[in-house]
Amino acid sequence: MRLPPRFVHVAMLGALWTVTLVAVAALIGIVGWVLAKGLPSVTPGFLFSMPQASGAEGGIASVIAGTLFIILGAVAIATPLGVGTAIYLVEYTRESWVTRVIRYGADCLAGIPSIIFGLFGYVFFVITLGFRWSILSGSLTLALMSLPTIIRTAEVALRSVPQGYREVSYALGSTRWQMVWRVVLPGALPGIVTGIVLAIGRSMSETAAVIFTAGTVLPDGIPHSLGASSRTLAVHFYLLATEGDPETQHTAFATAAFLVLAILVINVSAYTAMHRFLARFR
């Protein structure tokens, strides 16, 4: 039997509507659930006081500080590498086997699961280089993970600067580096910053790669050196969540809600900034 095409079309349209609603409901449902359960406990007192009783009581101030240090470290390492790579690819070379190798490397790096980064960071930074479980080891590992994101977004941003600006700069007697530094980079800056912000969002949600490199020590004060071990918010939440102790659940929810909210804010601002930036040149 062959169904009439019109009927099939309408039936499929209904099915597509349904699966889309399922997808949206599932994703938004999870976010809404975490926020609803956790946000009421996210008070200034929770954010600005130190954890007590292994995190079951008190706040997350020291964890927030540890997260900040680890992520700022990662960004400080990955930004020069990533932006430098993008400048090389866009301004200093033509397409060749070298650029293909560089892009292939970045693509592969982007595809490596975070647990492998964790494993590598553990042997290489923690043990071989002797950095131990520390903010430094965590930053270095996250920097490697962020590199492909920063390279890719910076490349897009540099390419979106109109070619005419480069010509003008040359015609006014600038060297290539003066052209890059004074004309192209200022033009591409918003896009580059967006990429960095996206990388920050990814790093904040990362668990497997940091748990083996920055360790699980719950700092009882603001970490004071790169060599100190510290949890990130995601790791703190994971440990609270898997303790299976109902006592810790409300702090787990509160931590999760704060983490999700922070990541959403970061991603939304990066996303809108990127769109505004790209629209500027159209």
Partner 1 sequence: MTPIVEARQFGVQIGGNAVLREVNLGVRRNEILGIIGPAGSGKTTFLRCINRLGDLEPSLSTTGTLSLDGTDVFSPGTDVAALRRRAGMVFAVPNPLPRSIYENIAFGPRLMGTRSRDRLDEIVERTLRASVLWDEVKDRLHTSGLKLSGGQQQRLCLARTLALEPQVLLLDEPCSGLDPISTAKIEEAMQELKKQLTVVLVTNNVKQAARASDRTAFFLMGEMVEVGDTGDLFTHPRDKRTNDYISGRFG
Partner 2 sequence: MKQDNAIRLSLLGLAMSAVTALAVITTFILKEGVPVIFRYGLGAFLFGTEWKPTAEPPIFGVFAMIAGSFAVTAGALAIGVPVGLGSAIFLSEFAPKKVAIVLKPALELLAGIPSVVFGFMGMLVLLPFIRVHLGGPGASVLGGSAILGIMILPTVISISVDALRSVPRSYREGSFALGATGWQTTWRVTLPAARGGLVAAVILGMGRAVGETMAVIMVTGNTVQIPHSPLSPVRTLTSNIALEMSYASGEHREALFATGVILFVIIMALNTVANTVARLGKRA
143-172: which residues touch partner 1 (CB under 8 A)? Answer: 164-172
User: 14, 44, 130, 173: which one contacts partner 1 (CB under 8 A)?
Assistant: 173
CA–CA gap between residue 136 and residue 226 (Å, rounded)? 5
CA dihedral 16, 20, 22, 24 (to 10 degrees): -170
Contacts of 172 (CB under 8 A, 6+ apart): none
Quick one: tokens of 9?
A: 């079309």
Rounded distance, CA 91 to CA 160, Å? Answer: 12
Residues 220-279 within binding reach of partner 1 (CB under 8 A): none
31 binds, among partner 1, partner 2, none (CB under 5 to 8 A by kind): partner 2
Among 187, 195, 201, 219, binds partner 1 (CB under 8 A): 187
Residue placing its CB nearer to partner 2 in the complex, 222 or 234: 234
Under the binding rule (CB under 8 A), the answer on residue 93 touching partner 1 is no
Cβ-contact 31, 38 below 8 angstroms? no
List the interface residues with partner 1, window 100-119 (CB under 8 A).
Answer: none
Q: Taking CB within 5 to 8 Å according to partner kind, which of partner 2, partner 1, none is near residue 23?
A: partner 2
Distance of CA 13 to the CA centre of its chain: 36
Cβ proximity to partner 1, 17 vs 281, nearer residue? 281
* Residue 127 or 189 having the CB closest to partner 2: 127
Residue 43 or residue 175: which is nearer to partner 1 going by CB?
A: 175
Beta-bridge mates of residue 57? 52
CA angle (214 as vertex; 209, 220 as ends), nearest 5: 135
Question: Under the rule (CB under 8 A), what is the footprint of partner 1?
Answer: 94, 164-175, 178, 182-183, 187
